[in-house]
Structure 1
Amino acid sequence: MRKRQLAAAVTLAMAAVTVAITTSAGAAQTERISIAANPTADLPGPDASAQIVNGTKTTVKEHPFIIAGMRVGGGGPQGQSCTASVVGKRKIITAAHCMIDAVGDKSYIYGDDDLNTPGDETFRTKLASFKTHPNYSGNGGWKTGYDVAVVTTADDLPVPEAQWAKVAGSGDTALTAPGKSALSLGYGKTSSSGGSGELRKTTLPINDPSGCNVFDIKVNGDLMVCSGFNDGRTANCSGDSGGPLIVDGVIVGVSSWGSSKCDRYSIFGRLTNAMGDWARGEIGGTTPPGDGTFSVALSPATGKVDAGKYLSTSVTTKAGDQGAEKLDLSASGLPTGATATFQPASVNSGDVAKLTLQTAATTPSGTYKVTVTAKGTSGSKAAEYTLTVGDGGQPPTGSLKVTVAPNAATVGPGGYANATVTITGGTGAVKLTGTGGLSGPMFSPATTSNGTSRMTVAGPYQRGTHKVTITATDSTGKTGSAEYTITVR
C-alpha cells in the first residue's frame, strides 16, 4: 500500500513548531523536521481521509478481525475516519484519539474491502460505549502517548472467536524489539492528498525510537512504537488511525500519529507494556482471546430426539504443542427446557467426555445449534452440535417459511438495525429480496443454501413505525415472506 500519510489537523498545522535535531554522532548537522499529525480523517472535504502509502490491496477475508470506523463528518467514503480490530464478541481496539479528538456520532462497518462502493458490507453497528486509557490526556493527547481505547459495540460482531485479534501485553516486549518486521492495515489515504476507503496493508520495520525523533514532538519509546522508514517509501496516513501493527500474529500497537505529509516514520501506541495489559483487562481477560492450542470435536455432531427424551454424543479433545492441559466444558444455545450434562465436566486435553442432552416435554420442535466450548490455560475452542427436536419445526414439503429474529427494532433517523433471517423448506438455493426502510434491506448473503442470512436495514428519516417486507424465492419459484418493523424515534 502507499504509505498512509497522516493528514494534519488545521490547528496542529498552525501550532507546529520547527526544531533542529542533532545527529547521534554529535555533528552540527541539521535534519529536516516534520510537523506531526494524527492519522484521523479530521479535516473536512474529500481529502480528509487516507490509506496506507505504497501498500497493496488486501481483504477482510484475509484479515477477518479488521473493521472500519465511521463517524458523522468523517472525511473518508461513507464517513470513514479510523481503522480498528475486533478483539471480542462486542469489543474493538482502536486509538483513543479516534474517540476523543474525532467528533461526530460513530459506527462501525464490517466485511467491506472498498468503502467507495456502499452496500458491500456484511454488517454495521453503532458504538455503545468506549474507554480510553486513563492516562490519555484528552484532545491532542496522542502527542504524549497512551493513545489506545477499547470500544463496546451495540451488537454482536460477526467474527468467530477463533478469528479475534490477539493483543500484546507487558510480557511481549520482544515483539517490538528493533529490527522486527510488522504488518500494518488500514482504510486510510494512499498519500496526503490521495484517495481512501480501500483496505490496504504494508510491511514496516520496527525501529529504535531514539532514532525517530525527526518531528516537532518527541517519540516516547516507553509509550510509542516507531515503525517504517524516514524516506516516505511506505507509511500510515489519514484514516489509518487505530489500525493494528502486527508482529507474529499479535497486535503490538495501534496507529497513532506520524508526519502530516505521510512521508516519514509511522508512530503507534505501544501495547507491549502496561497499556496492553490495561487493554486486555478492558477486553475481558488477561490472555489473548480464543486461540487454544488444543482441539475439540463432537462425534456424532448431529442428532434427533423427541421432546422429553435424551441423546448423547462424545466430546473428543486433542492436546496441542504445549502438551496436556485441563479443559472446562460448557454448552450454550440449548432450546427451551433442555439441559446439558458433561461426564466429566472437566477433562485433560487428549481425553474424551460424554455429553448428554436432555429435552423436556415442553421443548418446542425445531433444529438448534448447540455450541460446546472447552476452556483451558492456552485459550478456548468450540465445536457445534446440530440438535433436532421432534419434526424440526419444518413446514409442509415444498413450502417456504421465513422468520426474522428479532422482528422489530427502534433506531434514530437513518440509523441501522440488524436481524437474522431464517428460511426453512423450499428447494435448492433461496434468494432474498425486500422492500421498506430507507432504501430496502440488505442481505448477507443475498442467496443462501444453509437457511440463514444477516439482514441490515436503515430506518427512514421520517419518524414513526415502518414495515419492511422480506421475500424468499427458492430455485423452483416458490416464495415465502415475513414482516419486520422498524420504528424511527
Structure 2
Amino acid sequence: MRTPRFAAALAVALAAVALPVTAGAAPTDGISIAATPTDQLRPGDAGAQIVNGERTTVREHPFVIAGMRVGGGGPQGQSCTASVVGKRKILTAAHCMVDATGAKSYIYGDDDLNTPGDETFRTAVASFKTHPGYTGSGGWRTGYDVAVVTTVDDLPVPESQWAKVAGSGDSALTQPGKSGLSLGYGKTSSGGGSGELRKTTLPVNDPNSCQVFDIRVNGDLMVCTGYNDGRTANCSGDSGGPFIVDGVVVGVSSWGSSGCDRYSIMARLTNAMGDWVRAEIGGTQPGGFGVALSPSSGKADPGKHVSTSVTTTAAEGGPEKLDLSASALPAGTTATFQPSSTITSGEVAKLTLQPSTTTPPGTYKITITAKGPSAAKTAEYTLTVGDGGTTNGPKPTATPNSATVPPGGYANATIAITGGTAPYRLTATGLPHPPMFTPQTVYPGRTSRMTVMGPYQRGTYTVTITATDTNGRTGTTTYTLTVR
C-alpha cells in the first residue's frame, strides 16, 4: 500500500495583454477570449506555453482538496480545486458545480492524482449552494462565481487547519499592490499535463489594467491577479482553488484567457460574497467568535447621535481580544465605542454614531468590524440621517466630462455623486463596450473612476451615466467621447 502523499497546487494563468487606460493610448495587443479554468479547456485553444509554478503538498496546505467529476478531463476525473472550510463544508467556484456535468466528488490527501491510490479520503457531494447572484451556466462572465458544497462524510481535516475565508471587512487584502498564493491541481499549460498540486505567487492588479478580454473584469466582484505575459497563471483544473493573502482566502479561481497566458481572475470574497460564504458555512470558521448589532439600524438628525450595542460571542476555543472599528461613515460622522474599542469576545460594547451639523441627509450603510488574532468579522448598521434624503434623487457629475481618443483608445473620468440615499450604483449606456466603474458601488463622500474604451469606428459618442440610490431613484449626467 502506498504511503499517502500530501499536496498543494499551482495556479496557472488565464491572462491577457494589458491595454493602457490613459486617454489617447491604443491597444498594443489583441483582446483575449475568456474561458473558465476547468477541464473543458481544449488544447487547441492556444499554444503550449508552460505556466510556471512549483510543486507543493497537502501537508503544507492541509485545507486543499481536489474536485472530481464523472467525465472530468484530469487524472481520475479531476475537474476543479477547492478548500475545506468546515466539518462537511467545501469552498469552490459556482461554475465547477453548475457549468460542468457529471456526478461530483472530492479526493483528499493526494499530491499527485496521476498515481491512483495515494489519497487518504474520498467523499461524495450531498448538496451545494451557489451564490444567489450567479446566473447559471456561463454566469462566471458576470461574477458571483462562488459556491459552498456540503459533503456526505466528515472531512479528515481538523478545525484548526480549515481555510479562513475573507469577508467585507477584509477589503484591504485585495488592494492593488498586495500579492497572494494560488493553489490548484490544474494544467501547467493550455495543452499540458495536470493533476499535480502546485502553487504560485500572483500580484493583485488594478482591474482597470486588466481589461484585455472579450468580457469585462468587474472589480466589484472579481480580483485581477497575475501578469499579462503568461509567466505564471491559473489554467484548466485550477477553478475553485483558493487565492490566499496574509493567510486568508480572499478569492476563488474563476476564469482567464483560453490560452492560460494572461491575467488570472478570481471571484472576490473581500465583500458581501465572502459574508455570504461565511453564513453558508454556518459559523464554523476557525476563530469562530461572533459579532452582531442590536439594533442594527437607527436614525439621528444632523448634530445629534444614536447608539447601538455591539454584542460578541466567544468561540469554542475560548475568548480572544477584539479590536472594534467602524468604516464607510457618512461625511462628518464620528463613531465612539464604550467602554473601549478593544474588548474580549463575549463582552458587549456601546457604539455611538454622531453625524455633524453638515452631514448630508441620507441613509448610509456602516460596516462594524471586530478583528481578533484568528479572524476579522463584520456586521452592518443602517444609519438614517435627517429625513433620509427622501426629497431628491442622486446627482452624478463627471470630471472631465469629455475626452478625445484614437480608435480603441482609453480615457478616464472621476464620477462624484450628491443627493439621494447612499450608497449608489453606477451604470452607463452609449458605447458598444460599457464603461467600467471602479468601484461600481459608491459610498458617501467617495468617488468612482470611470474608464471608457473608444469604439473602432470614428465619431462622437454621448455616454449617459446613471446613478441609482438605495431607494431606486436615479439621476443622470452625460460624457462626450470623440474618436478621431
Shift of 1:291: 3.3
Q: Is 1:44–1:75's contact at 8 Å kept on the other side of the alignment? A: no
Question: Does residue 291 in structure 1 map to residue 287 in structure 2?
Answer: yes
Among candidates 81, 101, 109, match of residue 107 of structure 2? 109
Among candidates 325, 333, 347, match of residue 344 of structure 2? 325
How many residues were matched structurally? 300
Cα deviation digits, residues 355-377 of structure 1 (max 9, x gap): xxxxxxxxxxxxxxxxxxxxx99
CA distance in structure 1 between the aligned counterparts of 2:273 and 2:87, rounded to whole angstroms: 21
Shift of 1:45: 9.1
CA distance in structure 2 between the aligned counterparts of 1:243 and 1:212, rounded to whole angstroms: 20
Question: 2:241 maps to which residue?
Answer: 243
- 2:234 aligned partner, one-letter code: N
CA distance in structure 2 between the aligned counterparts of 1:23 and 1:107, rounded to whole angstroms: 43
Q: Is 1:39–1:236's contact at 8 Å kept on the other side of the alignment? A: yes
CA distance in structure 2 between the aligned counterparts of 1:201 and 1:279, rounded to whole angstroms: 24
Q: Is 1:45–1:75's contact at 8 Å kept on the other side of the alignment? A: no
Question: 2:267 maps to which residue?
Answer: 269
Q: Is 1:5–1:51's contact at 8 Å kept on the other side of the alignment? A: no
Question: 1:4 maps to which residue?
Answer: 12
Question: 1:70 maps to which residue?
Answer: 68
Among candidates 251, 254, 278, match of residue 253 of structure 1? 251
CA distance in structure 2 between the aligned counterparts of 1:36 and 1:192, rounded to whole angstroms: 13
Question: 1:125 maps to which residue?
Answer: 123
Q: Superposed, which structure 2 residues align to 1:157-196 within 5 Å?
A: 157-196=155-194
Q: Superposed, which structure 2 residues align to 1:377-388 within 5 Å?
A: none
Task: Note closer, same or farther for the CA distance 1:219–1:317 as it changes in structure 2 (3 Å cut).
Answer: closer
CA distance in structure 2 between the aligned counterparts of 1:235 and 1:114, rounded to whole angstroms: 19
Task: Note closer, same or farther for the CA distance 1:122–1:19 as it changes in structure 2 (3 Å cut).
Answer: closer
Q: Which runs of 5+ in 1 are unaligned?
A: 8-17, 294-314, 329-375, 381-489
Question: 1:24 maps to which residue?
Answer: 22
Task: Note closer, same or farther for the CA distance 1:51–1:321 as it changes in structure 2 (3 Å cut).
Answer: farther
TM-score (norm. length: structure 2): 0.57
Among candidates 66, 76, 79, match of residue 81 of structure 1? 79
Shift of 1:25: 3.9
CA distance in structure 2 between the aligned counterparts of 1:46 and 1:33, rounded to whole angstroms: 18
TM-score (norm. length: structure 1): 0.56
Query: What's the secondary structure of 1:107's corresponding residue?
Result: strand
Percent sequence identity is 75
CA distance in structure 2 between the aligned counterparts of 1:187 and 1:168, rounded to whole angstroms: 22
CA distance in structure 1 between the aligned counterparts of 2:141 and 2:227, rounded to whole angstroms: 20
CA distance in structure 2 between the aligned counterparts of 1:230 and 1:45, rounded to whole angstroms: 20
CA distance in structure 1 between the aligned counterparts of 2:317 and 2:92, rounded to whole angstroms: 37
Shift of 1:29: 4.0
Among candidates 144, 147, 157, match of residue 146 of structure 1? 144
Task: Note closer, same or farther for the CA distance 1:120–1:56 as it changes in structure 2 (3 Å cut).
Answer: same
Question: 2:228 maps to which residue?
Answer: 230
Query: What's the secondary structure of 2:57's corresponding residue?
Result: coil
Shift of 1:97: 0.2
Q: Which has the larger radius of gyration?
A: 1
CA distance in structure 1 between the aligned counterparts of 2:50 and 2:69, rounded to whole angstroms: 20
Task: Note closer, same or farther for the CA distance 1:220–1:79 as it changes in structure 2 (3 Å cut).
Answer: same
Q: Is 1:51–1:187's contact at 8 Å kept on the other side of the alignment? A: no
Task: Note closer, same or farther for the CA distance 1:317–1:220 as it changes in structure 2 (3 Å cut).
Answer: closer
Question: 2:93 maps to which residue?
Answer: 95
Q: Is 1:44–1:73's contact at 8 Å kept on the other side of the alignment? A: no
Q: Which runs of 5+ in 2 are unaligned?
A: 1-8, 290-315, 324-341, 348-369, 375-484
Shift of 1:277: 0.5
Shift of 1:163: 0.4
Post-superposition, which runs of at least 4 consecutive aligned residues in structure 1 deviate over 4 A? Answer: 18-23, 43-48, 315-324, 376-380
Shift of 1:42: 1.9
Question: Does residue 216 in structure 1 map to residue 214 in structure 2?
Answer: yes
Cα deviation digits, residues 397-429 of structure 1 (max 9, x gap): xxxxxxxxxxxxxxxxxxxxxxxxxxxxxxxxx
Q: Superposed, which structure 2 residues align to 1:454-469 within 5 Å?
A: none
Query: What's the secondary structure of 2:205's corresponding residue?
Result: coil
Task: Note closer, same or farther for the CA distance 1:113–1:51 as it changes in structure 2 (3 Å cut).
Answer: farther
Task: Note closer, same or farther for the CA distance 1:231–1:289 as it changes in structure 2 (3 Å cut).
Answer: same
Cα deviation digits, residues 287-335 of structure 1 (max 9, x gap): x712379xxxxxxxxxxxxxxxxxxxxx99796797883579xxxxxxx
Whose RCO is larger (CA < 8 A, sep 6+)? Answer: 2
Q: CA RMSD in A?
A: 3.4
Query: What's the secondary structure of 2:214's corresponding residue?
Result: coil
Among candidates 24, 37, 40, match of residue 39 of structure 1? 37
CA distance in structure 1 between the aligned counterparts of 2:41 and 2:211, rounded to whole angstroms: 25
- 2:344 aligned partner, one-letter code: E
- 1:289 aligned partner, one-letter code: Q
Shift of 1:31: 2.8
Task: Note closer, same or farther for the CA distance 1:45–1:182 as it changes in structure 2 (3 Å cut).
Answer: closer
CA distance in structure 2 between the aligned counterparts of 1:150 and 1:164, rounded to whole angstroms: 14
CA distance in structure 2 between the aligned counterparts of 1:44 and 1:141, rounded to whole angstroms: 20
- 2:285 aligned partner, one-letter code: P
Shift of 1:120: 0.4
Q: Is 1:93–1:148's contact at 8 Å kept on the other side of the alignment? A: yes
Cα deviation digits, residues 163-213 of structure 1 (max 9, x gap): 000000111000000000110000000000110000000000000001100
CA distance in structure 1 between the aligned counterparts of 2:152 and 2:51, rounded to whole angstroms: 32
Cα deviation digits, residues 232-271 of structure 1 (max 9, x gap): 0000000000000000000000000001110000000000
Question: 1:460 maps to which residue?
Answer: none
CA distance in structure 2 between the aligned counterparts of 1:149 and 1:206, rounded to whole angstroms: 22
- 1:4 aligned partner, one-letter code: V
Question: 2:299 maps to which residue?
Answer: none
